[in-house]
Structure 1
Amino acid sequence: MQQPECASPFWAKVQRIVGRIGFGAKGVVYGLVGGMTVASGSKLNDKDYEESPKGAFVLIGDAPSGSGALFILLLALWCYSIWRFWECFTYRGRDATFSATKNFFRFRLSPFVSGCVYIAYSYYIITMLLNNYENKEPSCYPNCWRDSVLGRTMLVIMGIAFLIACITQLQNAFTGKWHSEIDWHRANKKWEKWLLLTLGHIGYLGRAGIFVFVATLEFKALKHPVQQSGDQFADGLSQLLGSTSGRIAMIFTGLCTLIFGVFCLLCVIYRQFPTPPPSGKPYVGKK
């Protein structure tokens, strides 16, 4: 797969380093979220950690030398955001065979939103490092949003946004959309290719599951108050605990999410940085 041209070999190397560090952090976060989701669904989460990135940060912070580990994770998450913003503003990956709209959503909007999400994650780590997290009152979201027209409108928008995110992850799970991002020259052994393909497709199912359950929570909140902790990911998954079938779905989602974390860790080695155009034909023209 042909790599898109970069401004210089030096900055291409910097982007590869930053992207790989960021993907390592992403793998750790999703691996922990998946593990805690499985533990909650199996009723093994005796310390009641939330099944979300925030819960993962609390788990790390509670470990010996947790503050140091959180600080390292904070820097790594910043690397991920920097890489995503970098790709957004340079329009990295833009494909000559794609329409302008498809290029915009996939290679401009998507990395920008992703970068913002991981900046938000880093905010939780900073509050924990400053010992402000436990002193904060839990958010009244989403129930308090039901009390106004603007709030209910935002619940609808958030629900639709998470459904779109779910559909995007399902595309990754059932198509080869992400295959062009892997450096298959590195994965030159048959077992490496099958490992990446298997973990990737299963892993994206886990992300799709999380997003659809959060979307369901948003729409439920329009009709009646829902269980809330201020953490939409944890609340979206916790609504499954009321039945055996729900717990099975929760365990399945957690296992797939854990697998996605492992896949992200493998991407540190096997993914291409910067992101290449899927067809191998970079767009040439004004940015």
Structure 2
Amino acid sequence: MANNLTGIGDHRDAIEKGARLGYLARAAVFIVIGYFAFKTAYTSGETLSQKEAIGEIVGSPMGSVMLVLLVVALPCFSIWRFVQAVFDADGYGTDAKGIFTRIGRFVSGLTYLFLAIYAGSILFGVSTGGGEGGSQILNRWATVFGPWFTIPAGLVMLGVAGAQFKKAYSGDFLRFLSLPPAQARWMTAVCRFGIAARGLVFAAIAVLFFTGASRWDIAHPPGLEDALSEIGSWPYGWILLSATGAGLVAFGIYALILSRYGHIRSPDLDPSEALKTIMS
């Protein structure tokens, strides 16, 4: 019995350390994206996708070290997202709102898994480009399902944007943090700003889906880079883009704060029992 409890404790400790490392990787990606979005508002440069942000990190003076850290940390964050989704580590429950949130966690896990694979391909010199078969299939089906895909996807993105704005306004995120009293005020303000900026990005993606049904389809859905470009095209877009860029840097700082002060609620499951739960 004692050995079993020790194993569970080791398992929970490993998940917590992995999650905190993963939040650091997430912070690095968003800080780079936010910086370049802010810079783009005042220059003729271009906004970055998450993959391009990894490229910028790799090109930094400490690029090789950072790449190794990303290859280790991004899968950790992906696994943590899957733990949150499958085992409800954050206690969202099984009502409609809880299921929606957990699905979002799962999709986020897939996104960071793909980023981890991309970073790993750079580290090990493996091409991520494949044959044309898969893309041809997607393009063929996208012409059929395009309009049926874009409108529901836009509604989902709009819902996510609303959830982010609500989260920033209500301060619901604070229940996952134990902030030091002396720094709690400014940390909370930075977190609110970062979450709201991310909400604006999701709103821009929703606009792209609603207004570009002929351009966006299953094969080529709009992403973060497209959303930032869209924000820059709005009236007074340079102001909105610079604010959004600063906000995404703030979101990166929010990830840093989560890494240090976040509550990592690892489920009380032995790995073998967890595997049995998934397979049953």
TM-score normalised to the size of structure 2?
A: 0.79
**Which residue identity is paired with 2:230?**
Q
Task: Note if 1:119 corresponds to 2:113.
Answer: yes
Q: Out of 245-254 and 158-167, give the one that drifted further.
A: 158-167
Alignment check: 8 A CA contact 2:209 2:222 kept: no
Matches within 5 A, 1:23-62: 23-43=23-43, 45=45, 48=46, 50-62=47-59
Corresponding residue SS for 1:148: helix
**Partners in 1 of 2:222 and 2:121 — Cα distance?**
15
1:18 is displaced (CA, Å) by 1.0
Alignment check: 8 A CA contact 1:81 1:116 kept: yes
Q: Percent identity?
A: 23
Alpha carbons of structure 1 residues 124 and 165: separation in structure 2 relative to 1, 3 Å: farther
Structure 1: gaps spanning 5 or more residues: 1-6, 277-285
Alpha carbons of structure 1 residues 203 and 151: separation in structure 2 relative to 1, 3 Å: same
Corresponding residue SS for 2:213: helix
1:136 is displaced (CA, Å) by 9.9
Matches within 5 A, 1:141-220: 148-184=143-179, 187=180, 189=181, 191-220=182-211
Structure 2: gaps spanning 5 or more residues: 1-6, 268-276
Instruction: Note the aligned Cα RMSD (angstroms).
Output: 3.4
**Partners in 2 of 1:79 and 1:34 — Cα distance?**
23
**Partners in 1 of 2:53 and 2:13 — Cα distance?**
30
1:237 to 228, 238, 253: 228
Task: Note if 1:247 corresponds to 2:238.
Answer: yes
2:18 alignment counterpart: 18
Task: Note if 1:132 corresponds to 2:127.
Answer: yes
Alpha carbons of structure 1 residues 93 and 206: separation in structure 2 relative to 1, 3 Å: same
2:103 alignment counterpart: 109
Task: Note if 1:273 corresponds to 2:264.
Answer: yes
2:88 to 74, 87, 91: 91
Corresponding residue SS for 2:81: helix
1:192 is displaced (CA, Å) by 1.6
Alpha carbons of structure 1 residues 136 and 25: separation in structure 2 relative to 1, 3 Å: farther
**Partners in 1 of 2:148 and 2:227 — Cα distance?**
19
Number of positions where the alignment pairs a residue of Structure 1 with one of Structure 2: 258
After the TM superposition, which parts of structure 1 deviate over 4 Å for at least 4 consecutive aligned residues? 133-137, 144-147
1:146 is displaced (CA, Å) by 10
Q: Out of 28-37 and 7-16, give the one that drifted further.
A: 7-16
